[in-house]
Structures are given as structure tokens and as C-alpha cells.
Amino acid sequence: MSPGDPRECRLRAAECFRMAEQATSAQGRIEFNDFAKVWLRLATEFEKDNALLDMWSGPENGPHEAWPRRVA
């Protein structure tokens, strides 16, 4: 299971950067650049989430090893 695809987010960011270059107004350039930065941040978050899911769901890491043990 994957929460999202960082590659797709990076592709969308690249598209936003291209649109910013083609924008005819300063406001358009600013907004498209801002959108691109949001897509890049989302890609980073997905990468972190995917790494955690991989760590916790690996066959060698059963649920008993993945989570900290509760001390009574």
C-alpha cells in the first residue's frame, strides 16, 4: 500500500514551473511557482511516508517489532 506517488508529484511540480515560465503576468509566475513548491513538499512527505510503511510492513518486521513496546 502506498499513500501517494512522489514521482507524480515531481512531474506536476515540473509542469507548474514550466507554466510559471510561460505566464504573462508576475502574479501568474508567483502562483505557479508556489504551486510547484507545494507539489515538491508533497513529494517529500510521500517519500517519508513510504519509507515508514516499508519499514513497518517488511516481512522481517512483524507488528511486534515495528512498534515501540509499551512499558506497563
Tell me the pLDDT tens digit for each residue of 7-24: 999 999 999 999 999 999
Task: Say if 13 falls within a structural domain.
Answer: yes
Mean pLDDT for the stretch of residues 22-43: 97
Residue at 59 is within a domain: yes
Looking at residue 9, its pLDDT comes to: 96
pLDDT for res 12: 97
Output the pLDDT for position 54. 77
Cα separation, 34 vs 40, whole angstroms: 10
50 has a pLDDT exceeding 60: yes
The answer to whether residue 48 is domain-embedded is yes
CA separation for the pair 15, 21 (Å, rounded):
10
Q: Is the pTM of this model over 0.75?
A: no
| CA distance to 3, 5, 11, 16, 59, per residue, from 54 (Å) | 11, 14, 23, 30, 10
Could you give the C-alpha distances from 44 to 9, 16, 24, in angstroms and in order? Answer: 9, 17, 30
Instruction: Reply yes or no on whether the pLDDT at 64 is more than 80.
Output: no
Taking a C-beta distance cutoff of 8 angstroms, is the pair 70, 32 a contact?
no
Q: Is residue 11 part of a domain?
A: yes
Work out how many domains the chain is built from and give that number. Answer: 1
Kindly state whether residue 72 falls inside one of the protein's structural domains.
no
